[in-house]
Amino acid sequence: MAGDYLEAYDELINSLIIELKRGTLVLSVLSQLKNPEYGYSLVQKLEEKSTLIEAGTLYPLLRRLEKQGLLTSEWDTSESRPRKFYVLSEEGKAVYQHLKREWRTLSEQLELLLKEDEDV
């Protein structure tokens, strides 16, 4: 019984954490694409900065962002394995700056709320 309860608790926490992270996903990706990157290099780059993102989430996300006009892509066939490189478009750069500001405001506001709770 207790095991079941713990499992359910873990599941709930996990899904809430995923929910929280999902909102930051686009911003994380945009922040790393000033210079062209291909799918796996981006996974590694994010991993180095201890942002874990599933490959199965990232690859489709890149295509979606391209479709929305935030990224441009190009196949590089000069190396032994052809790779598709993505980089911020002009619009993407503007959107990134905008989102960055939004994020800072948001985290400040949230910090305020959380801090208030600790003070009590």
9 binds another protein (CB under 8 A): no
Amino acid type, 114:
L
Cβ at position 95, least distance to another protein in Å? 20
Cβ at position 107, least distance to another protein in Å? 27
Per-residue b or e along 49-60, where b marks 16 or more CB atoms closer than 10 Å to that residue's CB? eebebeeeebee
| Binding-site string for another protein from residue 42 to residue 61, where x marks contact by CB under 8 A and - marks none | -x----------xxxx-xxx
Q: Which residue has the tokens 């960055």?
A: 100
For another protein, the closer CB: 39 or 103: 39
Q: Tell me how crowded residue 61 is: count the other CB atoms within 10 A of its CB.
A: 18
Q: Tell me how crowded residue 42 is: count the other CB atoms within 10 A of its CB.
A: 23
Encoding tokens for residue 120? 């009590």
Cβ at position 43, least distance to another protein in Å? 8
Figure out which of the listed residues 13, 40, 108, 110 binds another protein, where binding follows CB under 8 A. Answer: 40
Binding segment (CB under 8 A) for another protein, from list 8-16, 17-25, 76-84, 92-100? 76-84
Interhelix angle 2-31/55-67, nearest 10 degrees: 40
